[in-house]
């Protein structure tokens, strides 16, 4: 599987879409805080905490497009015919997507954080900053995994991106309905609530637990269901 991860990571970092997104991350992360006049005294903390919410759509586009392009171009069939097991292909490509998106997120955090630091100075504690960064990386793994699963099942770029965006952005709605009807106490487990807790610096113990449970569940579903369908699907 290590060879698959290396090969897929190499392809991703040399992909034009990833390169363009990298440039957008640099420019957008800096400009949004340079021209933003609404940041409060804890601007460095705010800059770091809001990075993922500002770049979320880019990650969905990257993963959805890169995964489906393999099917639309026919290169996935060549990869399968090379003799590598489908499980290694599925998991290796997922890990590569997480690695590349994680690198882009790190770039965004560093650029936005440094921009806010040079403009407003150092605010916030190191512990709170590190916690915010860690939680954003965990949330990134969940959203990348879910987008990867959807793109692998749909295999069409436009449809996969629309479905991924709708599910991730409006997941709070079915959770609220289920809460009202069955009293399942699902409030706080959807991606929007988790992201808001990070942005608003309200990541309490329960919010962190919600994040860990949600991402672990999504990641396991991605591996189990996605790999099972991939092993049986026709390319």
How much is the pLDDT for 14?
Answer: 82
How much is the pLDDT for 39?
Answer: 45
Contacts of 49 (CB under 8 A, 6+ apart): 132, 136, 198, 199, 200, 201
The span from the CA of 123 to the CA of 34, in Å, is 16
What mean pLDDT comes out for the span 69-83? Answer: 83
Residue 137 banded pLDDT, cuts 50, 70, 90: confident
Q: Which domain holds residue 17?
A: 2-232
Predicted TM-score of the model (pTM): 0.80
Question: Cβ atoms within 10 A of the Cβ of 35, count?
Answer: 7
The span from the CA of 194 to the CA of 11, in Å, is 31
How much is the pLDDT for 178?
Answer: 44
Of 110-114, 182-186, 196-200, 222-226, the poorest mean pLDDT is in 182-186
How much is the pLDDT for 95?
Answer: 93
The span from the CA of 176 to the CA of 12, in Å, is 37
Residue 38 banded pLDDT, cuts 50, 70, 90: very low
Q: Give the residue with greater pLDDT, 234 vs 64.
A: 64
How much is the pLDDT for 171?
Answer: 57
Q: Which two tokens stand for residue 235?
A: 């390319």
Overall domain count for the chain? 1
How much is the pLDDT for 157?
Answer: 87
Question: Cβ atoms within 10 A of the Cβ of 168, count?
Answer: 20
How much is the pLDDT for 41?
Answer: 42
Q: Give the residue with greater pLDDT, 205 vs 180.
A: 205
**Segment of 25-34, 61-70, 123-132, 186-195 carrying the highest mean pLDDT:** 61-70
The span from the CA of 179 to the CA of 186, in Å, is 6
The stretches of the chain forming alpha helices (DSSP H) are 2-13, 16-34, 43-49, 51-73, 75-81, 86-120, 126-154, 157-169, 172-182, 191-199, 205-221, 227-232
Angle at 60 between CA 55 and CA 63, to 5 degrees: 120
How much is the pLDDT for 203?
Answer: 53
pLDDT in tens, 80-95: 888 888 898 999 999 9
What mean pLDDT comes out for the span 175-186? Answer: 48
Q: Give the residue with greater pLDDT, 203 vs 114.
A: 114
The span from the CA of 169 to the CA of 19, in Å, is 25
């Amino acid at each position: 599987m290590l060879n698959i991860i290396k090969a897929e990571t190499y392809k991703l970092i040399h992909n034009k879409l990833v390169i363009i997104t990298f440039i957008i991350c640099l420019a957008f992360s800096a400009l949004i805080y340079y021209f933003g006049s609404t940041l409060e005294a804890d601007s460095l903390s705010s800059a770091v905490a809001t990075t993922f919410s500002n770049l979320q759509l880019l990650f969905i586009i990257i993963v959805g497009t890169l995964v489906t392009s393999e099917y639309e171009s026919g290169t996935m069939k060549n990869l399968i015919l090379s003799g590598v097991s489908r499980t290694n292909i599925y998991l290796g490509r997922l890990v590569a997507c997480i690695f590349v998106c994680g690198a882009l997120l790190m770039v965004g955090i560093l650029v936005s954080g440094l921009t806010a630091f040079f403009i407003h100075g150092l605010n916030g504690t190191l512990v709170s900053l590190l916690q915010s960064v860690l939680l954003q990386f965990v949330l990134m793994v969940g959203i990348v995994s879910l987008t990867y699963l959807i793109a692998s099942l749909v295999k069409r770029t436009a449809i996969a991106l629309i479905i991924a965006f709708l599910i991730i952005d409006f997941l709070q709605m079915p959770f609220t309905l289920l809460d009202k009807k069955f009293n399942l106490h699902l409030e706080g487990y959807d991606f929007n609530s988790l992201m808001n807790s990070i942005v608003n610096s309200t990541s309490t113990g329960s919010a962190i637990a919600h994040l860990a449970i949600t991402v672990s569940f999504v990641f396991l579903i991605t591996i189990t269901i996605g790999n099972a369908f991939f092993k049986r699907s026709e390319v």
